[in-house]
Amino acid sequence: MRRDLQQGIAHCTAADLTVHAFPECAVYAREVARALGCGAAAVKTHRFPDGEALVRVSAPAPPRAILVRPLNDPDGKIFEVLLAADALRRAGAERVILAAPYLPYMRQDTVFHDGEPVSQRVLGTMLGRAFDGVVTLAPHLHRVRSLADVIPCDARALSPAPALARWVSAMGKDWLVVGPDEESSELARTVAEQAGLSWIAGEKTRLGDRKVRVRFGKLPDAARALVIDDIASSGVTLAAAIKALKRAGAKAVDAAVVHAIFADGAISAIRSAGARQIVSCDTIAHRSNAIPTAPLIAKAVEEML
């Protein structure tokens, strides 16, 4: 490898590393490969009439393999990445790293009601057995501090704060960064500090899958607010936060999320609440994507190799 001092990212000159991409994230994977200076290969998928999956990787595989796939819409994709890890090893890869910009099932990190699983542990155990390393962005780690406690391998959780802060900095100086709840306060604080802005966090009570209540203390006068959260799923958290900020006198409210899950109706709920613009990181392909994260993933992969 040679280190490009200007970019701070190593380039693999040896042909011993390949980025393997599932079809729906080929563009993102190419960005990772470009930053690493290595080749990208397609992972092909096939569904049999009975619903079973078959994957086929490029063979023979060089000794080091990076498999790229955000695991939104998760159940089928999770099984396919497990199949791909097996295929890569059979094709010659000795070290296989999963780069999953979005990692699902992290919110079910405890038994909330009798009879439930700890889904976070189930997924973590499977990935830890299949991969030598896993890298992701902003996994929802609430009760667990380290991703390696969930996934027993070289598991790394990256902060999207530098990417968000770069984008936020371009908006100007008179913005208040807002986390809708206690869980988002660390991200809001870090982004605000890196962008040189003030921040606050709200108090959220979840009343159902699609019902939350968000409250804020007193806002600075005539604040323009940017609400930041790790995930927008139903969109009700952002919508409730935006409404509360408007009631409290915010003169403009924008929304930025890391993982653009955006279930049906989410975007219109957030817009109806009064959001001026809604943007997201590109961890999940969505029309709101405005903040690139592949360089963060590539840099972490380089450190892991």
Residues in contact with ligand R5P by the rule CB under 6 A: 181, 183-184, 212, 229-237
Nearer to ligand R5P, 136 or 234 (CB): 234
Q: How far is the CA of 225 from the CAs of 9, 171, 179, 240, in angstroms? A: 34, 11, 10, 14
What is the smallest separation between the CB atom of 236 and ligand R5P, expressed in angstroms? 4
Q: At which residue do the structure tokens 């990787």 appear?
A: 57
What is the sign, positive or negative, of the torsion defined by CA atoms of 13, 131, 262, 254? negative
Nearer to ligand R5P, 29 or 236 (CB): 236
What is the smallest separation between the CB atom of 257 and ligand R5P, expressed in angstroms? 8
- Other CB atoms within a 10 A radius of the CB of residue 151 amount to 28
**DSSP three-state, residue 209:** coil
What is the smallest separation between the CB atom of 131 and ligand R5P, expressed in angstroms? 25
What is the smallest separation between the CB atom of 43 and ligand R5P, expressed in angstroms? 29
Nearer to ligand R5P, 113 or 143 (CB): 143
Q: At which residue do the structure tokens 């219109």 appear?
A: 268
What is the smallest separation between the CB atom of 235 and ligand R5P, expressed in angstroms? 5
Residue 212 to residue 242: CA distance in whole angstroms: 12
Q: Are 157 and 138 in contact (CB under 8 A)?
A: yes
Nearer to ligand R5P, 227 or 296 (CB): 227
What is the smallest separation between the CB atom of 166 and ligand R5P, expressed in angstroms? 22
Nearer to ligand R5P, 206 or 246 (CB): 206
Residue 230 to residue 281: CA distance in whole angstroms: 10
Residue 129 to residue 121: CA distance in whole angstroms: 12
- The two three-digit tokens of residue 168, written as one number: 């936020």
Nearer to ligand R5P, 181 or 302 (CB): 181
